[in-house]
């Protein structure tokens, strides 16, 4: 039997486009001799559909797509994730299901059992868990269909769930497992996905075919990396990362293990780079926009965003605005200009001093007698934010936000100033990782001028200002932030690791008191296992460690 | 037996303060002869603690509070909601529990079964549901303790859950039910809470004592309204709305129904008004701020916010900034000034024309040849936002956002302009409700100048501009928005109600394409059953009805 795994990039709620795309793959798979073509979890609606699932009309439209696909399931079977209605009045109204379509109709529907409700996931908000488990008989095979998380309750020290639907499935003695997934990217996740699927295949002694989404839905990135593991635990093949792709696998060949392509290489910076480029591309593409704008300061953060945007959208679609003030150093403007030229992006220089002065003229009578400080620094950042929005509004470009994860964490950014923008491109990349990423970008020749990477970071909002004046060295800061944000360690735990107690307390306090700023930040492309945004939900008025 | 219901206003994560407050109530209840004092759900941590629950250290601190309360439970029993650890490795690590403390120790712990995971609720993100149900024997009574939602699976046409923990409890033949709740306010909720508790008491034929939180945790408001219903379904008493309060009930008196105070009157505008005033007060109080600032335009929205802020914080703590442009009418400035004088708030007039011109001077070479439009209008709104932030930063006042729900819905506001602010005060109040609220505020004498209420709404960003130029009449718009936002009706459903098809499609499209603006908006004080913010989660790049 030939099984085609189609890791596709659908668009949340775009039913017509998603159906058309899947029909194309069905035709293609059939032409190539596939017996079954497999699409990911909730491929009809896109993932995550979020509260669109509360609209009855939205569910109707998903059901129409399944019915249309069923009609196309002639001479080929289709396995596809979609939503289904719970016929029982008690419990949630929906199931997250996988459909088996063949002979022009729906042959089987299996619901998802384990509903991830953590980090970015909200599945129990919408879905009832499965209470029955069945297999499908197709040609000479017995096939167990499962949805994503249902294969993940294996090999964890602290499992989130009391039951294991894989055990239930195995009672039916299937010949193979098909897993339809929406398994979001982080730079450690593909390795973990392969590991967990190997554990499954080995434990149950049968082959496993997993198909994942690829593409970005706002902040959530999917890397693809669909994977086939045989009953011995051999990784037969892994589909590419960050690319739509379909491959056909012969079940006998998978069983024999004669033809092993194996896993792909995984380099952290390659994954982050490629993931973000896809994230930008899809954000613009799915919103129907082409052009980006950003403020280029001469610092490393905006340099990274410029490179990533130029690679995602093409240099012609990226406009850079240099907005020097009296505190900007000459090298900043030169470095920024050099970068724009390296990239081939349009750039304009728009000094902000006259605007800043017009504010100060108006504010002078009110500020009289008060020492200069943060308010004046913020005014500069906000004048820049406003100018960028003035370009964005007039020319229809989306403003890209250039904040990194370290500064988002400690609130080292100005709300409505440098925190403006429709999409936070590197908001899940710590400052120390920014330097790594810059080096990675320059690996085949200098794109980012060396001086941008090597000079000491500065916001340049007052004379001779450096980040190190108000923040600890980034290597220490980032290490503490990682333990707190990603690992949810307590202050004492982190101190016990050998970090300075004062540094730890001050850092955690900054993280917590700046929740109000992050609340108003653009969606952040998620590349780590704990990004700011929808996956990390904290109270603003919470009084904890502050 | 005498049962004290203590509806208290705790602070999320502020363990020391929460403990101190509860110990005060324990002493007071004991002095007044109570046998038991009851505190709300998760009273130790505050509700909702959100992802603080992922920090082990946070759970330790909650356990310490329970242990301290247990020590104080001498000569009086304490019933209190808190978190507890799941000793079983499988499943979520925590339970949402209610503790019975007496004789200086923990006597009983009952976990919550039904975990609300919808709207603002995320309980299954953190908690394992209960699988065992037990009662407590205290003095001569058998007491069933339940947590909030566990009493709500009665009398619904489409129940969210398959099981009913109340039925399980009844197997133990309790004499009375104590329900500890975190039942958030909306203007319809108190009536619903009383109705559901009556259904419980009547169905099971035993008295029910419910204690609820009062106070605001960022956007989530709790109205209190703790309620006692006897076995006949008589509402014996309801504690006040929006006030911390303790009352003691004698179980024999409750049973006999001889002393019935009954339900409180509920007026929609009173509830909204009092809820928002409490919301502002607690937002500032819990953050440790005293002073607010807002832009007063002469329109009804900012007028409402000024009144609400003055009533919450005192007029001395509210600073109003009038920022006229060349498009502002004379009456706007006069009306705004009159309002500030009526309230006794400080006000300053800061014209924005010079700032606007300084932007246009800089932008002229770039804007050349382009028609004037939205970008210029937004610049005015943003110049005001920046000025307000300049005051906020220099003087330490929190900026209040003045957007209403109708404009938030359709995106009729400028991001980083009039959408600035730390707290959205009336973002859950439709424009038509704004007029009602203004009338309500003026019921005992004119606070808001009549002209502010009666003049046609205008953003005053270009000459002779009125909201009605680009939006349908507010009564129609709000009716359509209500059906879509609160009732999740489809376009066709709404058209079938008799609304113009074009109006419906255009409105729903505006709602959906403006998700990106709402994503970056301040938290909105929630007064309806579906507010923008954490309770309504939609994709930005979603392609549905747009």
Q: What is the pLDDT of residues B87-129, one digit of tens each?
A: 999 999 999 999 999 999 999 999 999 999 999 999 999 999 9
Residue A545 lies in a domain: no
CA torsion sign, B178 to B183 to B189 to B192? Answer: negative
Tokens of A339: 């970068």
Q: How far is CA A539 from CA A112, B51, B270, B287, in A?
A: 31, 8, 27, 11
CB atoms within 10 A of CB B443: 9
Burial of A118 (0-12, 13-18, 19+ CB in 10 A): middle
Q: Which of A89, A93, A416 sits opposite B389 (nearest CB)?
A: A416
Non-local CB neighbours of B473 within 8 Å, separated by 6+ positions: none
Backbone angles phi, psi at B470, to 5 degrees: -120, -10
**Which candidate from B93, B350, B363 shows the least CB-CB separation from A390?**
B363
In angstroms, the separation between the Cα of residue B457 and the nearest Cα of chain A is: 24
In this structure, the answer to whether residues B287 and B247 fall within a common structural domain is no
pLDDT band at B535 (very low <50, low <70, confident <90, very high): very high
CA B381 to CA B304: how far, in whole Å?
A: 19
What letter does residue B465 receive in the DSSP assignment? Answer: -
Residue B346: is its pLDDT beyond 80?
Answer: yes
Q: Residue A340 and residue B342: Cα distance in Å, rounded?
A: 55
Tell if the CB–CB gap between A50 and B118 is shorter than 8 Å: no
Q: Of A55, A124, A359, which has the smallest distance from its Cβ to B490's Cβ?
A: A55
Please state, in angstroms and rounded to a whole number, the distance separating the CA atoms of residues B70 and B72: 5
Same domain, B247 and B379: no
Q: Hey, are the CB atoms on B122 and A122 less than 8 Å from each other?
A: yes
C-alpha angle A359/A362/A368, rounded to 5°? 105
CB atoms < 10 A from the CB of A219, how many?
27
Shared-domain flag, residues B51 and B12: yes
Position B461 confidence tier, pLDDT thresholds 50, 70, 90: confident
Q: Which residues of A touch B518 (CB under 8 A)?
A: none
Residues of B annotated as catalytic (active site), given as ranges: 41, 112, 148
A351, A394, A414, best to mutate vs chain B, most B CBs in 10 Å: A394
Our answer to whether residue A148 is catalytic in this structure is yes
The Cα–Cα gap between A499 and A477 comes to 10
CATH number, domain with residue A45: 3.60.110.10
Please check if A407 is assigned to a binding site. Answer: yes
Q: Write the residue in A11, A348, A383 that is nearest to B366 by C-beta.
A: A348
| Domain shared by B139 and B157, yes or no | yes
C-beta separation of B453 from B300 below 8 A? yes
Tell me, yes or no, whether B188 and B328 share the same domain.
no
Give the model's pLDDT for residue B77: 98
Cβ distance of B375 and A394 shorter than 8 Å: yes
- φ, ψ dihedrals at B346, nearest 5°: -65, 140
The average confidence (pLDDT) of chain B is: 97
pLDDT tens-digit profile, chain A (546 residues)? 999 999 999 999 999 999 999 999 999 999 999 999 999 999 999 999 999 999 999 999 999 999 999 999 999 999 999 999 999 999 999 999 999 999 999 999 999 999 999 999 999 999 999 999 999 999 999 999 999 999 999 878 889 999 999 999 999 999 999 999 999 999 999 999 999 999 999 999 999 999 999 999 999 999 999 999 999 999 999 999 999 999 999 999 999 999 999 999 999 999 999 999 999 999 999 999 999 999 999 999 999 999 999 999 999 999 999 999 988 888 899 999 999 999 999 999 999 999 999 999 999 999 999 999 999 999 999 999 999 999 999 999 999 999 999 999 999 999 999 999 999 999 999 999 999 999 999 999 999 999 999 999 988 888 888 888 888 999 999 999 999 999 999 999 999 999 999 999 999 999 999 999 999 999 999 999 999 999 999 999 999 998
Distance CA A456, CA A299 (A): 9
B56 and A415 in contact by Cβ < 8 A? Answer: no
Handedness of CA B128, A115, A47, B505 (dihedral sign): negative
Q: Give the 3-state secondary structure of residue A367.
A: helix
Evaluate whether B415 touches B408 at the Cβ level (below 8 Å). no
**Quick one: pLDDT at residue B460?**
87
Backbone φ, ψ for residue A169 (5° rounding):
-60, -40
Pair (B247, B324) in one structural domain: no
The residue from B452, B469, B486 where one domain ends is: B469
In angstroms, the CA A497 to CA A190 distance is 28
Domain termination residue (choose one: A257, A291, A318): A257
Whether A541 and B387 lie within 8 Å, measured CB to CB: no
CB half-sphere exposure, B505, CA atoms < 13 A: 5
Q: What's B246's DSSP letter?
A: E
- Tell me the count of A-B CB pairs closer than 8 A: 252
Do A148 and A41 meet the contact criterion of CB atoms below 8 Å apart?
A: yes
Min distance A124 CA to chain B CA atoms (Å): 7
- The distance of B248 to chain A (nearest Cα, Å) reads 30
User: Is the distance from CB of B427 to CB of B537 less than 8 angstroms?
Assistant: no
Count of beta carbons in the 10 Å neighbourhood of residue B323: 25
Cβ count near B546 (within 10 Å) = 16
Query: In what side-by-side order are the strands of the sheet with A346-349?
Result: A346-349, A318-322, A292-295, A398-401, A423-424
Chain centroid offset of residue A470 CA: 31
Q: From the CA of A516, how many Å to the nearest CA of chain B?
A: 7
Note whether residue B488 is domain-resident.
Answer: no
Are B224 and B283 within one domain? no
Higher pLDDT, residue B358 or B458: B358
* Annotated catalytic residue, options A21, A41, A345, A433: A41
Q: Do B538 and A391 touch (CB under 8 A)?
A: no
Residue B31: per-residue pLDDT? 98
Smallest Cα distance from A162 to chain B, Å? 5
Strands A214-217 and A235-238: unpaired
Helix B374-395 and helix B353-367, axial crossing angle in degrees, nearest 10: 140
Phi/psi at B165 (5° precision): -60, -25
Confirm whether A143 is domain-assigned.
yes
pLDDT given at position A447: 97
**pLDDT (average), residues B19-25:** 98
Q: What is the pLDDT of residue B463?
A: 86
CB-CB neighbours of A202 under 10 Å:
18
- Do A447 and A392 share a structural domain? yes
Q: Which residues of A touch B543 (CB under 8 A)?
A: 11-14, 17, 286
Q: In terms of domains, do B313 and B234 share one?
A: no
Q: Are residues A36 and A64 in the same domain?
A: yes
What is the per-residue pLDDT for B329? 86
Tell me the two tokens of residue A303.
């340099």
C-alpha to C-alpha distance for A231 and A224, rounded to whole angstroms? 22
Contact B382, A391 (CB under 8 A): no
Length of chain B: 546
CA distance A528 to B218: 28
Task: Find chain A residues with C-beta within 8 A of B351's C-beta.
Answer: 362
Residue B517, in any domain of the structure: no
Comparing CB atoms, the residue among B162, B355, B415 nearest residue A358 is B355
Residue found under tokens 């712990």: B109
What is d(CA A95, CA A84) in angstroms, rounded to the nearest whole number?
A: 5
Residue A325 counted as an annotated binding residue: no
B387: domain range? 272-469
Q: What is the mean pLDDT of residues B510-523?
A: 97
Q: Is residue A72 part of a domain?
A: yes
With b meaning 16 or more CB within 10 Å and e meaning fewer, what string describes A490-518? bbebbbeeebeeebbbebbebbbbbbbbb
In which element (H, E) is residue A70 found? helix A56-72
Closest residue in A to B371 (Cα) is A394
Instruction: Confirm whether residue A299 is marked as ligand binding.
Output: yes
Q: Is A33 part of any domain? A: yes
- Please tell me the predicted confidence (pLDDT) of residue B110: 98
* Extended strands (E) in A43-196: 77-85, 94-102, 105-111, 135-138, 141-147, 176-180
Q: What is the CATH number of the domain that holds A359?
A: 3.40.50.620
Rounded Cα–Cα distance for residues A115 and A107 (Å): 24
- β-pair type (B94-102, B105-111): antiparallel
Which residues of B are less than 8 Å from A373 in CB distance?
A: 394
Give the side-chain half-sphere CA count within 13 A for B507.
30
> Are A248 and A285 in the same domain?
no
Helix (H, G, I), strand (E, B) or coil at A492: helix
Q: What angle do CA B354, B360, B366 make, to 5 degrees?
A: 165
- How many domains are there within chain A? 2
Same domain membership, residue B450 and residue B347: yes
Whether residues A13 and B539 touch (CB distance < 8 A) is answered with yes
A492 in any annotated domain: no
Task: Look at residue B213 and tell me if it is in a domain.
Answer: yes
Boundary of a domain, candidates B432, B449, B469: B469
């Amino acid at each position: 039997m030939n099984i085609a795994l189609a890791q596709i990039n659908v668009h949340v709620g775009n039913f017509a486009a998603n159906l058309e795309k899947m029909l194309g793959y069905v035709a293609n798979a059939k032409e190539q001799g596939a017996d079954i073509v497999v699409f990911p979890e909730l491929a009809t609606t896109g993932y995550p559909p979020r509260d669109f699932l509360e609209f009855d009309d939205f569910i109707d439209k998903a059901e129409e797509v399944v019915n249309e696909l069923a009609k196309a399931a002639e001479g080929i079977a289709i396995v596809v994730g979609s939503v289904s209605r719970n016929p029982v009045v008690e419990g949630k109204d929906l199931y997250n299901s996988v459909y088996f379509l063949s002979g022009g109709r729906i042959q089987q529907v299996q619901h998802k059992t384990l509903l991830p409700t953590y980090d970015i996931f909200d599945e129990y908000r919408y879905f009832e868990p499965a209470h029955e488990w069945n297999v499908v008989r197709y040609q000479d095979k017995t096939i167990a269909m499962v949805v994503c998380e249902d294969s993940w309750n294996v090999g964890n020290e602290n499992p989130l769930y009391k039951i294991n639907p894989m055990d239930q499935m195995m009672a039916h003695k299937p010949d193979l497992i098909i897993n339809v997934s929406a398994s979001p990217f982080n730079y450690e996740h593909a390795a973990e996905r392969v590991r967990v699927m190997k554990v499954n295949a080995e434990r149950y002694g049968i082959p496993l075919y997993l198909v994942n989404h690829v593409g970005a839905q706002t902040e959530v990135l999917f890397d693809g990396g669909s994977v086939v593991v045989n009953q011995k635990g051999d990784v037969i093949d892994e589909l590419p990362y960050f690319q739509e792709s379909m491959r056909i696998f012969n079940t006998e060949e998978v069983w024999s293990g004669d033809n092993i392509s194996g896993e792909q290489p995984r380099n952290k910076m390659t994954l982050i780079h490629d993931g973000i480029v896809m994230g930008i591309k899809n954000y613009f593409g799915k919103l129907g926009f082409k052009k980006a704008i950003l403020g280029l300061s001469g610092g490393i953060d905006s340099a990274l965003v410029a490179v990533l945007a130029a690679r995602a959208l093409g240099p012609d679609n990226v406009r850079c605005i240099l907005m020097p003030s009296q505190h900007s150093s000459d090298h900043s403007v030169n470095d920024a200009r050099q970068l724009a030229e390296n990239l081939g992006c349009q750039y304009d220089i728009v000094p902000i001093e006259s605007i800043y002065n017009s504010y100060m003229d108006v504010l002078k009578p009110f500020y009289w007698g008060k020492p200069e400080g943060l308010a004046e620094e913020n005014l500069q950042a906000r004048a820049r934010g406003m100018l960028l929005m003035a370009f964005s509004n007039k020319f229809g470009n989306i403003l890209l936000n250039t904040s990194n994860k370290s500064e988002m964490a400690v609130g080292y950014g100005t709300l409505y100033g440098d925190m403006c923008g429709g999409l936070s491109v590197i908001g899940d990349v710590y400052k120390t990782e920014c330097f790594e990423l810059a080096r990675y970008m320059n690996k085949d020749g200098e794109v980012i001028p060396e001086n941008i990477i090597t000079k000491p970071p500065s916001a340049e909002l007052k004379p001779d200002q450096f980040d190190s004046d108000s923040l600890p060295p980034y290597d220490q800061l980032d290490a503490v932030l990682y333990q707190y944000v990603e690992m949810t360690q307590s202050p004492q735990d982190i101190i016990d690791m050998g970090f300075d107690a004062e540094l730890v307390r001050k850092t955690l306090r900054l993280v917590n008191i700046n929740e109000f700023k992050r609340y108003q930040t653009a969606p952040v492309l998620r590349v780590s296992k704990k990004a700011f945004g929808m996956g990390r939900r904290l109270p603003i008025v919470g009084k904890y460690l502050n």
